Amino acid sequence: MENAPSKAVPPPRGQGGRTPGAVEAGGAAEKDPLIGGLVAGRYRIFDTLGEGGMAMVYLAEDVERDRPCAVKVLDPSAVHDDSLVERFLQEAVAASAIDHEHVIEVLDCGRSAEDHVYVVMEMLQGEDLADMLAREGRIPWSRARPMLLQICDALSVVHGKGIIHRDMKPENCFRIYRDGSEDFIKVLDFGIAKITGEQVEGARALTQTGMIFGTPEYMSPEQAMGRPADHRTDIYSLGVILFHLLTGDVPFRGATPMLTLVKHMVDEPPIPSIVAADAGITGALDDVILRCLQRDPEARYQSMDELAAALHRIDENGVIMSTPPWEQSAVETPWEQESEEFRDYRPYGVDEDFGDVEDMLPSRAPGMVALALVFMVIAGAVAYIVLAT
């Protein structure tokens, strides 16, 4: 799969020791023929940013709009395979259907007169979470929390469009600086996304039951078995990402990719707080991660919104909040500001269930109730005497 994100200039590490802008041919470095030229007569190619299994990503400029961009170009050996071409362009179809700040923006796609199959994306300056983990090992929950909530927010919108990502992993979560945060996340690479129903006009299914796509360390058991997968496969993968962020490693890793898939299918996930006993992972975080990693999709969180709600309930110290953020009132009503002894005097309509009439009487004012009854008896007696005379 083409995993390479568009990164800052100069190109990041991980280019396999190659000279930027060069490819290996016959044991010697050979300049990429696209460098310095135009793709589709509009996108000037300056340098390589990265490469995947079937595509190269380039630093480019849209000469019509005078703006930098990243251009992903399908490998020339694959342009005559209609299924590969359509799967490659499906990334653009899927991503362009989503207008969300935490999803990479796709600007253009197509097939040029020179037979270049390409996708044009916004240019991002930063790094993916895989690079961050390679450098830092792991991060605390206080830092991972906002990252995960951003990803949940993005995938909630993605799923709402009838799109399943199916390849969520640290490499496809890109952190940039924006709005005062160095951990603003963009979700990348919809190259193997599954488009369900008719939410995306003109799209059709390109995968079949029994075909396995994805990255073994982050694949759900149903994906590993080649079974039909719905949006809950992304919830599983996000659980693996959170496990990796907090512990510094993935829950399942076999000697071969196939053995890794088998572990997802048959092994119980390890408890994160035991894997990284010194990482400050609380029981609340263990519970969230392990629920994401349930083999049975029915036992996981059933939506990204449900997962996000569970993450919101856990504060920066990993402790479950007594009152979830969405239930905390920004401005207290007058009776909420009063001391406890006055709360029985709330106006009618504040509580949904008042119970019996006796329950509505102020429990802390028995003397007032008795005095009112005495007045009622006296008034009744007076009225009787008046009527009798």
Sheet containing 181-187, strands listed edge to edge, beginning at the edge strand earlier in sequence:
126-128, 173-178, 181-187
Q: Are 193 and 154 in contact (CB under 8 A)?
A: no
Q: Are 150 and 185 in contact (CB under 8 A)?
A: yes
Catalytic-residue membership of 167: yes
Q: Is the peptide bond prior to 20 cis by the omega test (within 30 degrees of 0)? A: no
Please report, for residues 205, 226, 373, the alpha-carbon distance to residue 385 in angstroms, rounded to integers and kept in the order given.
Answer: 91, 92, 19
- CA 126 to CA 376: how far, in whole Å? 78
DSSP-assigned beta bridge partners for residue 186: 174
Nearest to 233 by CA among 284, 174, 158, 183: 158
Count the Cβ atoms, other than its own, within 10 Å of residue 152: 25
- Note the residue count of the chain: 389
- CA 126 to CA 26: how far, in whole Å? 33
Nearest to 237 by CA among 139, 161, 159: 159
- CA 141 to CA 147: how far, in whole Å? 10
Please report, for residues 89, 151, 278, 286, 289, the alpha-carbon distance to residue 239 in angstroms, rounded to integers and kept in the order given.
Answer: 28, 12, 20, 10, 5
The residue annotated as part of the active site, out of 167, 278, 286, 305, is 167
Catalytic residues: 167
